[in-house]
């Protein structure tokens, strides 16, 4: 999947051509390293001014390496973010939008700020080496991690 800039007119400009087309960043996003916490909190938004302000907050606190954005049908935008404690007071309308839009994970107000969590729990199991080898091969075929493959199998099994 290729990254692109979508203008207000709906024009899609490939990432490599954004500056050539005359666009410059309004604000530089600092480079924040990958967060090592497992999982993502998942939100589903519709396009709005509040959505863009929320995305600005996410990018300023997490950086692009810790955010995944997927454009869906019917103007739905799915955003996955790594767990984070936002140590500042965020506007009430952004917190309300986050609460309304979260579809996986958890969001809560704490004394130190707003905490967004993936709500994942560890499930450690021991399996025979032949089974692990088969799982590893299947994961490689589908270009997934072993963990992602096993999670998808379990979700399918339990209809989640």
Report the chain's mean pLDDT, rounded to a whole number: 92
Pairing status of strand 102-104 against strand 84-86: unpaired
Residues 6+ apart with CB under 8 A from 39: 82, 83, 105, 118, 119, 120
Percent of the chain with pLDDT over 70: 99
| 16 band by pLDDT with thresholds 50, 70 and 90 | confident
Tokens representing 28 are 């530089």
Render pLDDT for 64-94 as a digit per residue (tens, 0 to 9): 999 999 988 888 999 999 999 999 889 999 9
Per DSSP, the three-state class of 23 is coil
Structure tokens at 64: 């692009």
């Amino acid at each position: 999947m290729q990254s692109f800039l979508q203008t207000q007119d709906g024009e899609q400009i490939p990432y490599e051509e954004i500056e050539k087309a005359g666009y410059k960043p309004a604000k530089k996003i600092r480079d924040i390293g990958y967060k090592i916490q497992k999982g993502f909190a998942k939100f589903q938004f519709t396009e709005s001014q509040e959505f863009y302000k929320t995305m600005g907050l996410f990018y300023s606190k997490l950086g692009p390496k810790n955010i995944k954005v997927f454009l869906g049908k019917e103007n739905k935008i799915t955003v996955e973010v790594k767990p984070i404690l936002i140590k500042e007071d965020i506007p009430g309308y952004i917190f309300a939008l986050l609460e309304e839009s979260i579809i996986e994970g958890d969001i809560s107000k704490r004394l130190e700020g707003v905490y967004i969590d993936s709500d994942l729990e560890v499930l450690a199991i021991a399996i025979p080496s032949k089974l692990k080898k088969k799982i590893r091969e299947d994961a490689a075929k589908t270009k997934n991690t072993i963990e992602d493959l096993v999670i998808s199998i379990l979700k399918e099994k339990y209809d989640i």
